[in-house]
Amino acid sequence: MAVGGFVKLPSGTVVVALVLAHPADPAHTVRVVVHALNRQRALTRLSNLGFRGTRLTGNAEPPTPDEITAVLHHPDGLVWRDHRARTSDPWHPISTLNRV
């Protein structure tokens, strides 16, 4: 189970934000934001990237407006940054996650 939440957009799609253990370093946590047709597809995308067994229960930490803007403007619709990062730190494409 992960801490996070979601927002349903006027278009009917959702933005899901989760705090997850880094797939290569479980002691390190990252905030991952994904744009998808629905919550289940968002979780499936994360599972396919190595975040196995990810579940979203509740809506304790929904995505912020900054996170929504970042993910909607990224071509992959999937971004991340260190969980303890400042709000001014940049978002990264998911393809760079395993390089950190």
Per-residue pLDDT reduced to its tens digit, 1-11? 568 899 999 99
User: Are 33 and 78 a contacting pair, CB within 8 Å?
Assistant: yes
Closest CA to 69 of 54, 94, 90: 90
User: Are 11 and 72 a contacting pair, CB within 8 Å?
Assistant: no
The per-residue pLDDT for range 9-41, each reduced to its tens digit, is 999 999 999 998 877 777 888 899 999 999 999
What is the per-residue pLDDT for 18? 92
3-state per-residue secondary structure call for the chain: CEEEEEEECCCCCEEEEEEEECCCCCCCEEEEEEEECCHHHHHHHHHHCCCCCCCECCCCCCCCHHHHHHHHCCCCCEEEEECCCCCCCCCEEHHHHHHC
In this predicted structure, the answer to whether residue 96 has a pLDDT above a threshold of 80 is yes
Q: Give pTM, 2 decimals.
A: 0.88
